[in-house]
Amino acid sequence: MDMIHEAAHVARHEAARAASASQSGGEFLTFRLGAEEYGIDILKVQEIRSYEAPTRIANAPSFIKGVVNLRGVIVPIVDLRLKLGCDSADYNSFTVVIVLNVRGRVVGAVVDSVSDVLELSRDSIKPAPEMASAVDTSFITGISNVNDRMLILMDIEALMASAEMGLIDAA
């Protein structure tokens, strides 16, 4: 039980650190998950690849689709649509994998489509709203309204390093 409490404390600390970083603005890669548009720090992105079916891993959670071999590196693939509870997760020609470098580990994130790279000023980023304790918003660092589009900014490192994901050691 102490490990869970400690992991939650680390996640809150990392989210607060990332929130202060995102509040200073910067460049964000934007992508779609269902009807929502999200943004992540462009510096965490290694590359964007077309979706290819990964090799399934037995007993993995449903949002971990499996692994792929990326130039000799075995990369776990996480379907963010399933992880974040989107209504559907269809695989089509727009579906892509954002290859991320998170705490020195390479991880792939499946998204519906990639939109563009936006530079956001500190003034355009509003703090994430407080939600009921039943909703985990620890990885949401802010909200920005860009050309009448609501953009949810997320700390992809905090999400991928969460204890529930089990992909990266909490450091």
Residue 46, pLDDT score = 95
Q: How far apart are CA 80 and CA 99, in angstroms?
A: 12
Residue 43, pLDDT score = 95
96-117 pLDDT tens trace? 999 999 888 999 999 999 999 9
Binned at pLDDT 50, 70 and 90, residue 134 comes out as low
Q: How far apart are CA 6 and CA 12, in angstroms?
A: 10
Q: Decide: 75 and 108 in contact? Cβ < 8 Å.
A: yes
Q: Which amino acid is at 11?
A: A
Question: Of 135 and 25, which is predicted with more confidence?
Answer: 25
Residue 22, pLDDT score = 44
Domain ranges of the chain: 2-160
| Res. 13: pLDDT tops 50 | no
42-74 pLDDT tens trace? 999 999 999 999 999 999 998 999 999 999 999
Q: Decide: 96 and 113 in contact? Cβ < 8 Å.
A: yes
Q: Give the number of other CB atoms < 10 A from CB of residue 25.
A: 16
pTM: 0.79
| Res. 85: pLDDT tops 90 | no
How far, in Å, are 9, 68, 109, 110 from residue 54 at the CA level?
Answer: 33, 5, 12, 11
SS3 90: coil
Residue 129, pLDDT score = 76
Q: 76: Cβ–Cβ under 8 A, 6 or more apart, which residues?
A: 57, 64, 66, 67, 107, 108, 167
Q: Does domain 2-160 have CATH number 3.40.50.300?
A: no
Residue 12 φ/ψ, nearest 5 degrees: -65, -40
**Nearest residue to 77 via CA among 56, 98, 102, 107:** 107
